[in-house]
Structure 1
Amino acid sequence: MSFDKIQYAFMEHIRQPKENPLPHGIEDRRMAIYRDLFFNNIEGFISSGFPVLKSLYSREDWQKLIRKFFIEHDCQSPYFLDIAAEFVNYLVNTYERAKNDPIFMIELAHYEWVELDVSICQQDESELPIGSAITSVPLFLSSTARNLSYQFAVHNISADYIPTQPGATPHYFVVYRDHEDEIQFLVTNAMTALLLSLIETTPGIDFFELCNCVLQQAPQFSEQQIHDGANSTLMTMAHKGVVVTKNEDENLY
């Protein structure tokens, strides 16, 4: 048997030991070590990355969910830190929700994964803080911030609060890494989410162009109301490090 075939047989048995025979010439006692090692490592990383989601399942049902991921998903990254992202990708693109799965499982899983994503992402070294000149510098969403919206109030979900239908309006959040490298979760609103979304999709946009874009989407507000609201909101976001600039002229901030 070729080495490739041996590897394939080994992998298939590790994933589904009941459906695939032991690789030729390897005793079950030795394979049991690998079976437990591989699955327990995967289960451990996912459990630690999605504690709230896990708390909504019985131990048996959680093990079944992780086993399905272990069997059905081909991870594209060899790094353990990427397992959580692979799990979310699996839930979004492959997994078919079962009756015992909460209706919000994908949104909750994504919300929990974002904490890890923000904690390990590399900050863009060209980013600079903004002081008092929010109207005079190009605006960027920090590389260590995420502007999010969900149909469910994912920040409130627990074993004691399990919603059965989405909210009437979206729920908005910012997850970001603060100046002490601590992960922070911030509940926002539709206008803040719009401002940050426009900055994210139009990196380097200036304050007045940003306000004009908001005015087009929210004509019920006057130009002055939008300018005042945007200035206040963006200064708060700049203070937290969510909004930054990349202007190298230190006199501007």
Structure 2
Amino acid sequence: MPSNLHEAGMKVDFKAKQLEFASYIRDPENNPPPADVQPQRMAMYRELFFNNIDSFLSANFPVLRTILDDRQWFELGQDFFSKHASQSPHFSEIPEEFLDYLQNERDSSADFPFMLELAHYEWVEMALSIAKETVPANQKSVDTLLNQHIRLSPLAWPLAYQYPVQKISPAFLPETAPEQATFLIVYRDQDDEVNFIEITPITYRLLQIIQEQEEVVTTDCLKQVTEELNHPNPEMIRAGGLQILKELAEKTIISVA
């Protein structure tokens, strides 16, 4: 019995020491260093951990990195490092954890108003590049798309942003969102290359309908978008929509069942 109590005590002590160690590494300004570890060694550990996080963020959010100066970038990384409790131990999921932090924990009036959208836009490329799904090949000719069942590729993501995130750079930093939202389709093709295409609101709505229904007949999809638009020339909308669907099928953004 005493042996078991001793072992339990050792486990509690270890957890407490681990928490003390991690707390200081995360936020040395607000947590004391472990008393039994040399300050130089703690500084080395902290620099190692923080630099690993910083390198992953810089690699996955290159545009965000370029529009922030060194001080702003360091403070952003430090805030993430100290505040966010990551739910995944995998380095590849750090960018997604960073998005969660920006959306739910970040609170700074000095941030660009488009920062979350830009970060999401940059994260999408990485997420699609490592996704395990495969791009289904079209089994039927896209020329006979009418009346066929179609579905959205699992590696094609329709996106809508308030800001034109694909244009943001050090030379273009919009302070307010334009009246017209930005619609994009990001997809990985059969050569495993990730592509970004700016699309019209109608194309975005077509993709939404396909995505919502998982699989839909082209005529039903075109009928729904035509009715929603209430256009005076519905045939023109149907013909234009069919052409859009053919182009999307050629790019394997949608597949023909």
Which residue of 55, 64, 70 maps to 1:53?
A: 64
Partner SS, residue 2 of structure 1: helix
Show the 5 A alignment for 1:179-194. Answer: 179-194=190-205
Give the distance between the partners of 2:186 and 2:61, measured in 1 at CA.
16
Per the alignment, residue 107 of structure 1 pairs with: 117
SS of match in other structure, 1:175: strand
Instruction: State, as a whole percentage, how many aligned pairs show the same letter.
Output: 34
Q: Does the 8 Å CA contact 2:137/2:252 hold for their aligned counterparts?
A: no
Deviations 1:66-108 (A, max 9, x none): 1001111111111111111111111111111332x21111111
Match of 1:210 among 214, 217, 221: 221
Aligned to 1:128: 137
Could you list the structure 1 runs, at least 4 aligned residues long, displaced by more than 4 angstroms after superposition: none
- Shift, 1:207, TM fit: 0.6
Q: Which has the higher helix share?
A: 2
Describe the SS at the equivalent of 1:163.
Answer: coil
Distance 1:221 1:85, change over 3 A: farther
Size of the aligned set, in residue pairs, is 244
User: How far 1:58 moved relative to its partner?
Assistant: 1.2
What does residue 118 of structure 1 align with? 128
Of residues 216-225 and 205-214 in structure 1, the stretch that sits farther from structure 2 once superposed is 216-225
1:218-229 alignment, distance < 5 Å: 218-229=229-240
> Is this contact kept in 2: 1:215–1:221, CA < 8 A?
no
Q: Are residues 1:178 and 2:193 paired?
A: no
Look up the match of 1:43: 54
In structure 2, distance between residues paired with 1:136 and 1:208: 6
User: Aligned AA for 2:175?
Assistant: T
- Distance (Å, rounded) in 1 between the aligned partners of 2:134 and 2:229: 32
CA RMSD of aligned residues (A): 1.5
Deviations 1:121-174 (A, max 9, x none): 12257x332532322432211111110111111111110111111111111111
Structure showing greater radius of gyration is: 2
The letter of the residue matching 2:201 is A
Q: Which runs of 5+ in 2 are unaligned?
A: 1-11
Secondary structure of 2:216's counterpart equals coil
What residue identity is the alignment partner of 1:196?
A: L
1:230 pairs with one of 241, 244, 248: 241
